[in-house]
Amino acid sequence: MSPSHLFELRQLAVRFGDRLAVDSLSLHVDRGEFVAVVGESGSGKSVSVLGALGLLPPGAEITGERAFEHRDLSRLSRREWQTIRGGQIGFVFQEPMTSLNPLHTIGKQIGETLRLHQGLRGQAAHQRSQELLERVKLPRVSELLDARPHQLSGGQRQRVMIAMAIANDPRLLIADEPTTALDVTVQQEILALLDSLRRDHGMGLLLISHDLNLVRRHADRVVVMHRGQAVESGPAATVFKTPTQPYTRKLLAAVPEGSPHPLAGDAPRLLAAKRLRVAFERPKPFLRARPPAFVALEPMELSLHAGETLGIVGESGSGKSTLAAALIRLIDASGEIHYQGHRLDTLTGKALRRQRRELQIVFQDPYGSLSPRMPVADLISEGLRYHHLELDTATIERRVADALAEVDLPADCGDRYPHEFSGGQRQRIAIARALILKPRLLVLDEPTSALDRTVQKQLIELLRDVQARHGIGYLFISHDLAVVRALSHRIIVLKDGAIVEQGRCEQVLSAPRSEYTRALIAAADLN
């Protein structure tokens, strides 16, 4: 192993039983260097790093050489690992909701790593925690320290994970898709932050990402992985400009493209909202007056036609998911909601449940939205069995097979469980679960954010085809403006719970009127 490298893997192999997940991988990170590992889901990016740091389950067989600051990582004791992981090596995991403890406050979780590695307690730990949250551009840090993970947006949880990873000024930071849940402006801020830490402290940075635009802008070197092997590596500028391998060229070409199918001129109005407003009551302090309600959405008007996609864009915390949840009555809101010409906001009980068959949602996180204890066939058919008690077993099985075929999954996968599928396949399962009820309106909440570009492209084409076949209206929430442009007929731009701009998709993206929209487009690098 070279003494000049901060972190090095040589001929690393990871095997799970008969399956070889990583095959003869060699890479290194020098002090102050930014190295990115890219590739499709299942290519071995995350497994290779987790294996190198001893974070895989006991059944994994790891061979090859791995070193950090000249120390052989395969020979470390459990106590030595505890000193290195979280202290000298920081790690930002891909799924913040599963990495953060739902029972503890954010302040307590950051304080734990400060106590274990620096011995900080009490006011010193509290002050340091505040500084870390401010460092990753989180607002209202005093409130966030007392909040629990479920009270934060996906982007806010990811920034908390980054704050915890840099809390002890690590010499090496490994970030596994750290910007997946973040909007484009915050992505740039976070990468700029990591860049400044790298330069100021000589920290090595190893980034695992499917976002090729970020990698192109920030990385010094790139390693391209495919089926567990490094198929190409070199300086980022060289790899992006003159790739030598067909697989690398395929990755670079897999950008969202095209546009949605034209909307029929006589398409009926499917959904309309008038003076829609959402406010959340704050808890009443002891012996003090209740503070004013938090207004998540200012009064707004919008509409959606059958077969149309309305893109909803904006930064984390702007109210995108809140708006969608209010429109399909998942949270309380004031104002009027009209669905197919009838008032949806006045329905209750059985009448509302009957309408829910036609109002479905695909959540951002396919890991968290699918029960790990249910086989795929049961997951997909659950809504059908609830809403259509008259259907017999044979009919349900046939409908499940049809739903799987609709999303290009084989019928024989119904007996398998979610953990046996890739991220893209899990998202297809979530879409099949929504489509089986033949909805008229489908909410898509960041459905492509956790997927690599090649899978994103496939999913966009799938959603276009499904919409064209069935005339479904989409409310499409995303921070990825390239994906929004490929799928949306119209878009609305949200900021701090208010609409700052709306109109035809190409018109807004090519000639934005709002300074905020211009900033989003500039950060997305759409040209």
| pLDDT value for 110 | 92
Tens of pLDDT, residue by residue over 14-63, are: 998 888 999 999 999 999 999 999 988 778 898 999 999 999 888 899 99
Backbone angles phi, psi at 452, to 5 degrees: -75, 170
Residue 505, pLDDT > 90, answer yes
Q: Is residue 476 part of a domain?
A: no
Q: Is residue 100 part of a domain?
A: yes
* Secondary structure of residue 507 in the 3-state scheme: helix
Residue 116, pLDDT > 80, answer yes
Range(s) of the domain holding residue 154: 7-251
Contact 14, 60 (CB under 8 A): yes
Any idea what DSSP says for residue 223? E
Percent of the chain with pLDDT over 70: 98
Contact 450, 297 (CB under 8 A): no
Q: What is the mean pLDDT of the chain?
A: 89
Q: Is residue 26 part of a domain?
A: yes
| Residue of 223, 251, 216, 208 lying closest to 237 (CA atoms) | 216
| pLDDT value for 269 | 95
| pLDDT value for 526 | 64
Tens of pLDDT, residue by residue over 296-305, are: 999 999 999 9
CATH code of the domain containing 185: 3.40.50.300
Number of H-type helices and E-type strands within the chain = 21, 20
Last residue of a domain, one of 216, 233, 251: 251
Residue that is written with structure tokens 């008229």 in the block: 440
Q: Is residue 188 part of a domain?
A: yes
Tens of pLDDT, residue by residue over 347-386, are: 999 899 889 889 999 987 777 788 989 999 999 999 999 9
Last residue of a domain, one of 438, 458, 476: 438
Structure tokens at 452: 């690599």
Backbone angles phi, psi at 64, to 5 degrees: 100, 180
Structure tokens at 207: 């980034």
- What are the DSSP calls for 336-365, one per residue? EEEETTEESTT--HHHHHHHHTTEEEE-S-
| Residue of 4, 5, 39 lying closest to 233 (CA atoms) | 39
Separation of alpha carbons 132 and 436, rounded Å? 45
What residues form DSSP beta bridges with 232?
Answer: 224
Q: Is residue 267 part of a domain?
A: no
- Total domains, the chain: 2
Q: Are 199 and 68 in a shared domain?
A: yes
Q: Going by DSSP bridges, is the β-strand pair 441-445/359-362 parallel, antiparallel, or unpaired?
A: parallel
- Where do the H-state alpha helices sit in 62-147? 78-84, 96-99, 106-118, 122-135, 141-145
User: What is the mean predicted confidence (pLDDT) over 421-427?
Assistant: 79
Last residue of a domain, one of 422, 438, 454: 438
Residue that is written with structure tokens 């801020």 in the block: 189
Q: Is residue 483 part of a domain?
A: no
With b for 16 or more beta-carbon neighbours within 10 A and e for fewer, the 110-146 pattern comes to: bbbbbeebeebeeeebbeebbebbebbebeebeebbe
User: What is the mean predicted confidence (pLDDT) over 266-289?
Assistant: 90
User: What is the mean predicted confidence (pLDDT) over 237-242?
Assistant: 94
3-state helix, strand, coil in the chain (%, to 5): 40, 25, 35
Separation of alpha carbons 423 and 451, rounded Å? 7
Contact 203, 187 (CB under 8 A): no
Separation of alpha carbons 350 and 355, rounded Å? 9
Q: Going by DSSP bridges, is the β-strand pair 34-38/498-504 parallel, antiparallel, or unpaired?
A: unpaired
- What are the DSSP calls for 128-196, one per residue? HHHHHHHHTT-S-HHHHHT--GGGS-HHHHHHHHHHHHTTT--SEEEEESTTTTS-HHHHHHHHHHHHH
Q: How confident is the model at residue 448 (pLDDT cuts 50, 70, 90)?
A: confident
Structure tokens at 228: 């567990």
Question: What are the C-alpha distances in Å from 225 to residues 56, 104, 152, 232, 524?
Answer: 19, 37, 33, 7, 25
Backbone angles phi, psi at 297, to 5 degrees: -135, 125
Separation of alpha carbons 472 and 136, rounded Å? 39
Q: Is residue 500 part of a domain?
A: no
Question: What are the C-alpha distances in Å from 281 to residues 78, 237, 296?
Answer: 47, 51, 11
What residues form DSSP beta bridges with 305?
Answer: 269
Q: How confident is the model at residue 4 (pLDDT cuts 50, 70, 90)?
A: confident
Q: Is residue 124 part of a domain?
A: yes
Cβ contacts of 357 within 8 Å, gap of 6 or more:
383, 387, 437, 438, 439
Backbone angles phi, psi at 439, to 5 degrees: -70, 155
